[in-house]
Structure 1
Amino acid sequence: MKKLFFTALITAACFNVQAQEKIDAKKMEEMIAKPQTQILDVRTAEEYQGGHIPNSTNIDWKEKEAFAKAIESLDKEQPVYVYCLGGGRSKQAAQYLTQQGFQVFDYSGGMMDWRNAEKPEIKPNGGKEAAGMSTEDFDKAINAADVVLVNFSAAWCVPCQELKPTIEKIEKEQAAKVKVLKLDADQNKELMKVLNVRGIPQLTLYRKGEIAWSKAGVPTEAEIMAEVDKATK
């Protein structure tokens, strides 16, 4: 089953049966007002419980076999709207759904964009969520050393895990040059909103409390250290 699933996914990445269209928060908000709209939140169940878009259904993209089974109940005559936290998982899910014959709309901004736009959010846990780092404490942290490298990431984020060894190496071997501040995206939603962080992994280098460099994605160690060296001059 897994082999067939991934074969289908690879095929979908190269040959889309139907075009996938990206949409913004405004369009998604219009869709949630229609009860019959098929909206899929492809994050983990834990993330979903922490807050989700109204009228959405949670089907975890990471649970591949369960995902394939769950979408069998969807109506192929109706479009499917997909989102995650920042676009990575929804893009993959959209490719697979398209290959399966669905018309797919990918809200690539995901929950980070939704929250930044201050759109309505359902919080099953009663609105309780991790307080995370306050803006006051963050300001103190980025001024705790001349050069500070801030890394927003998450355990479920594949690119974040690819970057993790590089960040840990820099933290260990370059401590004299740069202080590393690692922040979990799921635990610091409000801070990310204030800082306008719209995707992870996100690296931001601060020099004396001011932004010297910012990069989304997975830069190399050499690229990061080149910016650190500039900031320390």
Structure 2
Amino acid sequence: MKKLIWTACIMLAAMAAWAQDAVTPDAFEKGMKQPGVQVLDVRTAKEFNTGHLPDALQADFTKKEEFYRRLQSVDKTKPVYIYCLSGGRSTAAAKWMRENGYKKVIELNGGTMAWKQAGKPLAGTERVAQMSVEAFGKAIAGKWVLVDVGADWCPPCRKMEPVVKRFIKENKVKRVNVNGGNDIEVMKKINTATLPTFVLYKDGKEVWRKEGIVSLEEFQAAMK
């Protein structure tokens, strides 16, 4: 009998913990506005581009390699508010994250479907014109130009931002941003598919490139 009671207590405690970790749209919205909170969308890029929660990062849980790579740039010590379309993928992703050292992971119960049903707006629904290949060709003209292929919603891209800004400032390099979620024709032209990708041009010709996280020292060495 004692064993049964103990098992029931454990199950009730687990259910209570889950209930606290899967919250309503109102609670989710309130929590994601707290300092240091990271908002993570685990839907596909196509779904993300139809509208997403404000300031969200994106990592497709159905593409495990991409998911694990991008999660390396999400701080394990800070809260992560996670969501998908209806809650299935975010629950699985949250379980993996908790098992791999993420201290606080909060799920949006019902996903973006519940969010919209609660009358809350999504960001990123407006259409943005692509950069043309011709415009890109003109943009890379110059002594030194760093092409930054990334996106605001890409975790490693956001992590790289302070390093890129410092490199640009200290070395007086022109920066050209290519939107990795929008400028598809330019990405095809320069053969990039990974975010972020950095390509350094000198006098209009590519002299160096690297995908992923790059140190300030690597950027500086590329100019020598």
TM-score of the superposed pair, with normalisation by structure 1: 0.48
TM-score of the superposed pair, with normalisation by structure 2: 0.49
When Rg is computed on C-alpha atoms for both structures, the one with the higher figure is 2
